[in-house]
Structure 1
């Protein structure tokens, strides 16, 4: 059997290759052992997203856990990752498990662990679970009768979607959004956010809100190159649609569009959320961002008198701060953002609703709100290109970074380097490039920021040219 390792955000593998019933059982055995070591009467909430065989894999985990003496609450039908996290907190369960590969291509599935506090299980605990995963499955799954588990109360169905809807209704002015003159659109990317948004806002414009576990062959990651159809929908509306919200396969990441169908990246979303919560709602707390987030956020925090902190990449690091400290906003470049007053968990739908509430309450367009923030931090554009390279080239490039060999990238002279997680090279005029191998995919990520989109792409081109030398 292959060694099972948890990456930046859970264990992920290709279905029927390494992601099999036997391997899900192995991970579940390790999880059950960890729960029994750490909790007196352990309980777990389990849910799956829209991917192939999600129900079968969720039931595999439930069988193993229930048979080992762990109380199981399981969702019927697909649910989002934030729903499982919220359910874990609301039921005071020991752990949450989500059968999802998030934004990965449709051939993948995965296994995410959520702490009792309603966010990603912290890195030290994830490592403990991983260390307890056996080399092979020792449980006869066919011998465990589902109806018997239900009859004995070892497995219980739970309506996580309704729980989430009630939580939203209690925390937002949904009537203001529903009755506003503004018009919104939502793209579920065929993912787990589709049903809950139909319940919350039935009259908005929907795209890709059908059950399609193949995602039309498209990885459900809410970045512009995957959302061109959604972008065109907004463009063709000719201003009739004020804003578009997209979420990934398990609905914990956000993508956003203005009325002209232009993509609004997560750096801008983090800035808007920080400004709205601190300036308009008078909320306090520190802002904690992953290393790849724009330094413009720190500039805004300085202007608003908010403490700012940078973490390694992986929302679990941000969640650690949110659980133990007073954090207003925690965010990642990849679209995973959490805010105070909700769970310490990424939630694309929740963040989108905050932005829509901000627009409706202020009566301002998304562009107007962004311009207000630009007056403080300056206008900027951000771009990211993921390079599919040979492993040897990836290792060579990273070693060059470690050895300090990159003094410039073409005309861009390096003025400062940071290496919190990957390498960030700063140039003049608030421009920078970052280089980092992915923790969830076999790619080398390159990120750049400049005053214009053309400038950001020019930096990336110069960086990729430097890699060839």
Structure 2
């Protein structure tokens, strides 16, 4: 089957000679199989894959086909007066893919608002809402290595598309049988036909004004901002301009940027894996810190929707915080500050994902605020904001996920590292002026709520065999899992694919009121838990672990035991 697709591409008049040359010079049969054994999957996250020729790769042909399917869907849904916003990041081919998508949409009579230069993903979400578009596209592979790129689709609310949208778009994509069905006009023709518009500075300015308005202690920040010393790295991505501009306009004068990582560069020369979840990306910032001694270090990923934070501990050493730790710090700071100013809404809501720390639930209870769990993926947090807005009975306050994504405010419907960096600076400044570091504030929370510790173990399983192994692991856990892990009883099993939560102690079950997803969660008698979830965008299966201890050392010891027991099951799955 893959050979037929390979030959079709080699002989198609729609594949340019450069592309055919690349295909003809593949000498490894396994490489040909990997490129053509399937189509690059279009899911709720859109497309993501390695750049190159082939049906299982990111290229102008797969992007064109996906956009043709999106065009068909939008025309069926909205009939007329359709517009789409498009943004792109610093990655290799991002601009070309954005222009390919724009030219296809315009060829279908759909108006396009295209950012002239690279912009963060959250600013695309904002532009969709502000320009009243029916959809949005951002070309990015987020924090993946340089050989990847991706294509994410947003709905008219500014949130990532729902499962229903994705399925209908996929159906339209799958109906395209030949490259000749993919429409295309030139950029010049699109502009001449008044179908292509370049997004101007006014969108940037209005977005940054709204970000600045999220500051809770406005007068405090205005008076003390220059006392905070910050090192920031954009990791060669899109965050450099909006993050620095926002902080500068708020009065933060001592923001030092890692020069080697300042300029956009899709090759990521100083960070092969440009993910702020990886402590190694901060090595240059930590070198700078020896002289500057900042109060805080933070970095944004290439499309500036994730934020990683580094703080000084009680000994003056710098520590990289986890996404869960930053999330609980922000949750507590926002809720306590709103309460202090009598602005905490009675119907307030905190939203987190099912793999994110339960410590947030403890904090929410302390402030008598409700907390909602959603499936993994920030789009589900965005869906909740839309739901609250439409029903009018709840007020969104803050949402976060363990993978370094945070959002306050409702003018963006995806995780936003520009907003997060602003709030982290305010929070750090607040504690500094009280004579306390952010790390000390975290320890105070642990002493109050318990020493929570979480860990993520991603296991990369590439290609067809890797995909089969992932299916084997999930089948084994779903059908053959024992009721004891080590010497700790498993008290609950949550199967999000079957939408069933089983109470293994009282032998009862209830429905899970969330969309179906191939995820399993096991909760133990001591309140520790683990989740196993195949990634929707990468050839990986992800293992999430959580424990609660009486001290940092106790929680580490518990984590060591839990990790060993879970990984033994994963390794032996057959």
1:138 aligns with 2:189: no
Give the alignment partner of residue 425 of structure 2, picking from 356, 366, 382: 356
After TM superposition, which residue ranges in structure 1, 4 or more long, deviate above 6 angstroms? none
**Distance between the aligned counterparts of 1:74 and 1:303, measured in 2?**
45
Q: CA deviation at 1:163?
A: 4.2
Q: CA deviation at 1:337?
A: 2.2
1:38 aligns with 2:77: yes
What TM-score, normalized by structure 2, do the two folds share? Answer: 0.76
Query: Which segment drifts farther, 47-56 or 360-369?
Result: 360-369
- Once the two structures are superposed, residues 104-141 of structure 1 have per-residue CA deviations (whole angstroms, 9 ceiling, x without a partner) of 22111111111222221222112222211123333677
**Distance between the aligned counterparts of 2:294 and 2:130, measured in 1?**
35
The DSSP-based 3-state class of the residue aligned with 2:99 is: helix
Q: CA deviation at 1:25?
A: 0.9
Structure-1 residue corresponding to 2:326: 269
Contact 1:415–1:428 under 8 Å retained in 2: yes
Contact 2:232–2:285 under 8 Å retained in 1: no
Structure-1 residue corresponding to 2:104: 64
Matches within 5 A, 1:364-379: 364-379=436-451
Contact 1:76–1:157 under 8 Å retained in 2: yes
Structure-2 residue corresponding to 1:222: 276
Q: Residues 6 and 349 from structure 1, CA distance in 2 versus in 1: closer, same or farther, beyond 3 angstroms?
A: same
Structure-1 residue corresponding to 2:33: none
Q: Residues 83 and 297 from structure 1, CA distance in 2 versus in 1: closer, same or farther, beyond 3 angstroms?
A: same
**Distance between the aligned counterparts of 1:458 and 1:442, measured in 2?**
27
1:343 aligns with 2:412: yes
Structure-2 residue corresponding to 1:158: 199
Contact 2:146–2:268 under 8 Å retained in 1: yes
Give the alignment partner of residue 256 of structure 2, picking from 205, 214, 219: 205
The DSSP-based 3-state class of the residue aligned with 1:262 is: strand
What TM-score, normalized by structure 1, do the two folds share? Answer: 0.91
Q: CA deviation at 1:292?
A: 0.4
Q: CA deviation at 1:322?
A: 1.0
Structure-1 residue corresponding to 2:522: 425
Query: Which segment drifts farther, 408-417 or 36-45?
Result: 408-417
Structure-2 residue corresponding to 1:317: 380
The DSSP-based 3-state class of the residue aligned with 2:101 is: helix
Contact 1:106–1:218 under 8 Å retained in 2: yes
Structure-1 residue corresponding to 2:301: 248
Q: Pairwise CA RMSD of aligned residues?
A: 2.5
Q: Which runs of 5+ in 2 are unaligned?
A: 6-37, 249-253, 389-394, 497-516, 550-554
Q: Residues 418 and 300 from structure 1, CA distance in 2 versus in 1: closer, same or farther, beyond 3 angstroms?
A: farther
Q: CA deviation at 1:258?
A: 0.9
Structure-2 residue corresponding to 1:399: 475
Larger relative contact order (Cα-Cα within 8 Å, sequence gap ≥ 6)? 1
Contact 2:86–2:113 under 8 Å retained in 1: yes
Give the alignment partner of residue 120 of structure 2, picking from 70, 80, 90: 80
Q: Residues 262 and 341 from structure 1, CA distance in 2 versus in 1: closer, same or farther, beyond 3 angstroms?
A: same
Contact 2:40–2:49 under 8 Å retained in 1: no
Question: Max radius of gyration: which structure?
Answer: 2
Give the alignment partner of residue 12 of structure 1, picking from 48, 52, 65: 48
Q: CA deviation at 1:7?
A: 3.3
Q: Residues 392 and 279 from structure 1, CA distance in 2 versus in 1: closer, same or farther, beyond 3 angstroms?
A: same
Q: Which runs of 5+ in 1 are unaligned?
A: none
Query: Which segment drifts farther, 171-180 or 86-95?
Result: 171-180
Structure-1 residue corresponding to 2:558: 455
Structure-2 residue corresponding to 1:98: 138
Contact 1:79–1:161 under 8 Å retained in 2: no
Give the alignment partner of residue 443 of structure 1, picking from 524, 540, 546: 540
1:289 aligns with 2:352: yes
